[in-house]
Chains A and B, each alone.
Chain A
Amino acid sequence: MVFVIRRILQSALVVLVMSLVVFVGVNVVGDPVHILISDDMTKEEVDRFVRQLGLDRPLHEQYLHFLANAARGDLGNSFVHGEPALKLILERMPATLELAFAAFLLAVIVGIPLGMYAGLKPEAPASRAIMAGSILGFSLPTFWVGLMMIMVFAVILGWLPSTGRGEFMTWDGLRHLALPAINLALFKMALVTRLARAGTREAALQDYVKFARAKGLSPSRVVLVHVLKNILVPVVTVLGLELGGLIAFSVVTETVFAWPGMGKLLIDSIQRLDRPVVVAYLVITVLMFVVINLVVDLLYAALDPRVRLREMKA
């Protein structure tokens, strides 16, 4: 229990620190007045405007004001859309989550079998090909792969639509989802493959696997039950932490495939200097990140008591 409370307090501190960084960054490094006012405003109008927004008050007061508003879910209005920034972000969030989870599933479903195969037969030519492919998966810039996928599957072959999003969980929706999800999944797939391979190679030498073999269990049962179970914990832990990375990286994929998620909104907003939306996106993403990390940490501690003990001693 002490451990849980400690981790929650730590996470809250991270959110607070990040909010301070973002707030100070946006309001001190960039000058919001400069963006908000137009050139033909008179001096009095500018002064009134500055007072109205509270920009004449000392910075710590402004920050507390920002925090108080943020706690009530008010992150300001978008300059471009005129709507609450938070609402805009939340409207786009389902699309991003759909994409991220699809990519997550793909990475697991493809990565684990490939990695296990490469781990069981490290010298086989197919294993070498898999490992070479995983190096490629790490090196290829996501956005360029996305472009090439559009070129091959949408332009040349014409199998799949290149941009946009369809209805959730319909045939059309899946067709639209296919290319972006594969694109986003590639990097994680390479990661899962490597993790699964390393885990399998290690597990294959353990006594319990030898014992299961000696007991006369079929090879498929040894691999699918005994080995798989034991590599799942590290793979799932790392993947859990990478889920946040998927959401961050979806910025790139969404831009390539014109997928209407929060990432695309972020890029549009940065280009149009729509600061409230940028701040709202960052606050929400940081929050999601911290929550994901917290949940994974707690789950890990629940699965592996050694983690808890180590934390308490520290």
Chain B
Amino acid sequence: MSARVETLPVVPKPETPLRRLASEFFASRVATGAFAALMVIVFMALFAPFLAPQNPYDLATVTVMDARLAPGERGSAGFLMWLGADGAGRDMWSAILYGLRISLGVGVASGIVALAIGTAIGLLAAYRGGWVDALIMRVVDLQLSFPAILVALILVAILGRGADKVMIALILVQWAYYARTVRGSALVERRKEYVEAAQCLALPASRIVFRHLLPNCLAPMIVVGTLQTAHAISLEATLSFLGVGLPLTEPSLGLLIANGFEYMLSGKYWISFYPGLALLATIMSINLVGDRLRDVLNPRLER
């Protein structure tokens, strides 16, 4: 049980949707744990420069002397490298903190842009209907009939390498999921009486769409947004691991894992193992939070 749940019933507060959501969400111990883990991970990513004993990309502090030090050995700078060091002598713990920052940043940023684009397009399709809707949904169906990794590889092959290109690829991969979700729930909401009432008041279309339709579509958007962010992080890591993702100057977790690959066969597991564990913890905690949100918000999602 979390402290939050215990403090709630002391003074009966008016029940707001957010508070109800929170109390239902934290009723699950697994979800509470996942949420706490996610908060820790986000904190680690945000404050990486203060938490890391070393700036792993400042050449002045990294020395090849420390290369491939095993976990628990002391580096030449005097601090304990409790997760070991990689092939260039970087402290793995510091590299993971900085890598988390990049992985989370890319995942969340591309998710937000894709959410904005997908929402706008989905709302347009639902509100306009007719051929606009048919055309948009054809494109969405076409894209979703191919797996995300294939679409991403096509885009990376076309666009080339670089952080901006990977961002564009991730956004283009994701927008269709959001568009489909938003359109689905907006179509349901559109037939309801409050929209009809708003139309009778002769409110402008933009006001109806953004002030009336959109807030009522939020629940499924939150769920899909959470799960999709985990997907985006995993996809970016995969692309970076394959060597077609982020450039070496922006070492995300996927790139760290790829760097350790060559040392794996000689038994130096820690260079790949720990970044992978960090990636796994991130994806798992986001997925568990998303699953719980889906149960609590209970939007009838398509598949």
Chain A interface residues (CB < 8 Å from chain B): 14, 17, 21-22, 25-26, 29-30, 135-136, 138-144, 147-148, 150-151, 154-156, 162, 244-245, 248-249, 251-252, 255-256, 266-267, 270-271, 278, 282, 285-286, 289, 293
Contacts and interface: CB of A to CB of B under 8 A. Distances in A.
A139 B242 contact: no
9 contacts: A139-B230, A139-B284, A144-B257, A147-B261, A245-B147, A248-B147, A251-B153, A266-B157, A293-B145
A185 to B, nearest CB: 15
A29 B159 contact: yes
Interface of B: 142, 145-147, 149-150, 153-160, 230, 234, 237-238, 241-244, 254, 257, 260-261, 264-265, 267, 269, 272-273, 276, 279-280, 283-284, 287-288
Given A30-B160, A248-B146, A22 B242 contact: no
B146 to A, nearest CB: 6
A256 B262 CA distance: 11
B238 A252 contact: yes
Contact of A25 (B147, B158, B230): B158
Contact of A143 (B142, B257, B267): B257
B134 to A, nearest CB: 12
A306 to B, nearest CB: 19
A129 to B, nearest CB: 14
Contact of B149 (A22, A154, A251, A286): A251
Contacts of A267: 242-244
A278 B157 contact: yes
A141 B142 contact: no
Contacts of B287: 135, 138-139
A56 to B, nearest CB: 22
Contacts of B288: 135
A144 B276 contact: yes
Given A139-B283, A150-B264, A248-B146, A270 B157 contact: yes
A136 B142 CA distance: 29
A141 B158 contact: no
B178 to A, nearest CB: 20
Contacts of B269: 151, 155
A144 B243 contact: no
A286 B146 CA distance: 8
Contacts of B158: 22, 25-26, 29-30
Contacts of B283: 139-141
Contact of B265 (A138, A162, A245, A278): A162
B276 A148 contact: yes
Contacts of A136: 284
A85 B117 CA distance: 37
Contact of A155 (B150, B237, B244, B264): B264
A292 to B, nearest CB: 10
Contacts of B146: 244, 248, 286, 289
A1 B119 CA distance: 39
Contact of B156 (A139, A244, A248, A270): A270
